[in-house]
Structure 1
Amino acid sequence: MKITLVGSRHFGVTTLNMLREHAVEIVRIVVHDGEDRLAAAARAHGIEVVVQADPKLVTAAEIAPGTELIVTAHSHARVSKEALAVARLGGIGYHPSLLPRHRGIAAVEWTIKEGDPIAGGSIYHLADRMDAGAIAAQDWVFVKKGETARELWERALAPLGLRLLGEVIDYGKAFKTLPAKPQDEQFATKAPSLPGSKH
């Protein structure tokens, strides 16, 4: 399976390493900043790196020819409809909440702020609306009392995301399609950026 990975930072790098373990072909890395650590990791592995012309948008031209699946990892850019159409299976991303709950940039912070006893992660299909695409995989974890958003992310939600992404990619390789269960809009909540948020 040929994958274009769109992402940044530490989670982008750990996703790159996970993909390399799953015997897929990473044909291109797309970053919003050519100095990002994901770009450096890609170059170290001899993978082509493309820097987005617009940091908020990924265009069709920035997706590698022959890409079967676009994977996003810590990317805050919207992948355009045209870009998704280039890839046979479209695109998937990881969101650190039980979608449709906590859609938005600060999902982990809102999980803590609202005192949720459980948190979770969702692999979702990239769509026009932010975090609103069909769910490909989902799982949950308990939140420890007194845990910060960063602690919850590092202890449980980042590893969960890597595991779920790996499972969805293995499914795609085996069945040439991806699971897709529509989100139930009646349970959707927003998780907008909070002052001092790290994301």
Structure 2
Amino acid sequence: MADSKLRLVLMGTGPFAVPSFDRIADGPHEIVQVIVRPLPPVKSRGGPPPQPVADWAEERSLAVIRPDSINDDETVQQLRSLHADLLVVCDYGQILKPAALETAPLGGINLHGSLLPKYRGAAPVQRAVLSGDRETGVTVIHMTPRLDGGPILARRVTEIRDDETAGQLEQRLSAIGVDATIEAIDRLLDWDQESVIGDPQDAALVSKAPRLSKAEAQIDWQQPSRMIDCHVRGMQPWPVAFSFFHPGNGGKPVRVQIRQVTPIGDDASGDAPSQSQPGHLVSGDGLCVASGDGVLRIDQIQPAGKKPMTGAAFANGYQPGPDACFGATCGDAAVGGKGGTA
């Protein structure tokens, strides 16, 4: 485009979008509208959930609308009336259909929290941690009607740290995505709209990243130590990994959230794996549990209705017996992630 100043519509709701939107607002382009998801019904005394993009837009004195659907006829007409050049979408929560995308000559771009085509869907950051990936990144695509399927305009790669939760990684990726978003907008400035832009995604490498559920947060102690550690980190900040603690000696099971673990004595450290049944307590420094290939130390645990505490404090308080274990039951065949209730 000959004009180096674009009219932009920003679409986003959650915190992942804020750093990129903030950089855009400091740049040369004009933001003609900010669009966020509508507020859901209030179900508790805590009030409506936070909407970081709406709060950011208010601080910037930018106009905000909350259409029920970005694709209904009235909203599409409203988009057309803005005469925007480009739609910038991030952490919005609705899929734009062709009619909405066609309201801007340059279409739309979307900042996604994975190295597409890997982890298309609602929970790309969490799924990368849960899968034990060593690296991830962000991708900016030119949007098509197919979910996360458009050509790649920009990407950034980063290592997943061994102690990083999904929440911490998502915050870091949102910052990494800023430069990628600006790069994508700059590429479209020079696009003649007659040529193909971006790199096509490899359909053979597509994987899905569905939204997390509470039920899948339950820990399967038969998994290797590293994968249990990835599970604990990947389930934060929500829904948080959980298990059931059976104290032994006839005590009642306690539902616990497990917030931090450290693999010890597993194959990765070179030590011999534990011979105990997965989920059963083993001797060690602090609260130690057998996994499928070794031993984990539970560093932070939260019994239902109580505050988080160290594993050592938990053991001191609950005084586990010799047959104590974590899992759905303490039987030899069922101490993993199946059979319990969320």
> Normalising to structure 1: TM-score of the pair?
0.88
Alignment gaps of 5+ in structure 2: 1-5, 40-49, 215-234, 240-342
Q: Could you say which residue in structure 2 is the equivalent of 1:9? A: 14
The Cα RMSD (Å) is 2.3
Which whole-Å CA distance do the structure 1 matches of 2:142 and 2:148 have between them? 8
- 1:45 and 2:74 aligned: no
Tell me how far 1:51 sits from its aligned partner: 1.3
Cα deviations by residue, 1:38-82 (Å, 9 ceiling, x for unpaired)? 22332343322221122x757423425211100012111111211
Tell me how far 1:109 sits from its aligned partner: 0.8
Which whole-Å CA distance do the structure 2 matches of 1:121 and 1:98 have between them? 6
| CA pair 118-163 structure 1, distance change in 2 beyond 3 A | same
Equivalent pairs, count: 197
Q: Could you say which residue in structure 1 is the equivalent of 2:262? A: none
> Normalising to structure 2: TM-score of the pair?
0.53
Q: Is the 8 A contact 1:2 1:66 kept in 2?
A: yes
- Greater Cα offset, 106-115 or 63-72: 63-72
Q: Is the 8 A contact 1:22 1:170 kept in 2?
A: no
Which whole-Å CA distance do the structure 1 matches of 2:55 and 2:138 have between them? 27
Q: Is the 8 A contact 2:90 2:111 kept in 1?
A: yes
Q: Could you say which residue in structure 2 is the equivalent of 1:172? A: 188
Tell me how far 1:21 sits from its aligned partner: 1.9
111, 114, 120: which one aligns with 1:97: 114
Q: Is the 8 A contact 2:140 2:152 kept in 1?
A: yes
Q: Could you say which residue in structure 2 is the equivalent of 1:67? A: 84
- 1:186 and 2:204 aligned: yes
Alignment gaps of 5+ in structure 1: none
Tell me how far 1:147 sits from its aligned partner: 1.6
Q: Is the 8 A contact 1:7 1:38 kept in 2?
A: yes
Q: Could you say which residue in structure 2 is the equivalent of 1:146? A: 163
Tell me how far 1:27 sits from its aligned partner: 0.5
Tell me how far 1:87 sits from its aligned partner: 0.5
Which whole-Å CA distance do the structure 1 matches of 2:160 and 2:151 have between them? 25
Which whole-Å CA distance do the structure 2 matches of 1:146 and 1:28 have between them? 39
Cα deviations by residue, 1:163-183 (Å, 9 ceiling, x for unpaired)? 100111123335566942111
- 1:133 and 2:150 aligned: yes
Letter in 1 for 2:55: A
Q: Could you say which residue in structure 2 is the equivalent of 1:161? A: 177
Cα deviations by residue, 1:126-161 (Å, 9 ceiling, x for unpaired)? 222211111111121111113211111123x11111
Aligned-partner SS, 1:86: coil
Tell me how far 1:85 sits from its aligned partner: 0.7
Q: Could you say which residue in structure 2 is the equivalent of 1:33? A: 38
Which whole-Å CA distance do the structure 2 matches of 1:96 and 1:173 have between them? 23
Which whole-Å CA distance do the structure 2 matches of 1:8 and 1:88 have between them? 24
Cα deviations by residue, 1:179-198 (Å, 9 ceiling, x for unpaired)? 42111100101111122565
Aligned-partner SS, 2:102: helix
Letter in 2 for 1:23: P
Q: Is the 8 A contact 2:71 2:100 kept in 1?
A: no
Max Rg structure: 2
Q: Is the 8 A contact 1:50 1:62 kept in 2?
A: no
Which whole-Å CA distance do the structure 2 matches of 1:117 and 1:182 have between them? 24
106, 112, 131: which one aligns with 1:114: 131
Higher helix proportion (structure 1 or 2):
1
Aligned-partner SS, 1:78: coil
Q: Which has the higher contact order (CA 8 A, sep 6+)?
A: 1
Which whole-Å CA distance do the structure 2 matches of 1:81 and 1:5 have between them? 17
24, 36, 50: which one aligns with 1:19: 24
Which whole-Å CA distance do the structure 2 matches of 1:187 and 1:46 have between them? 42
| CA pair 37-109 structure 1, distance change in 2 beyond 3 A | closer
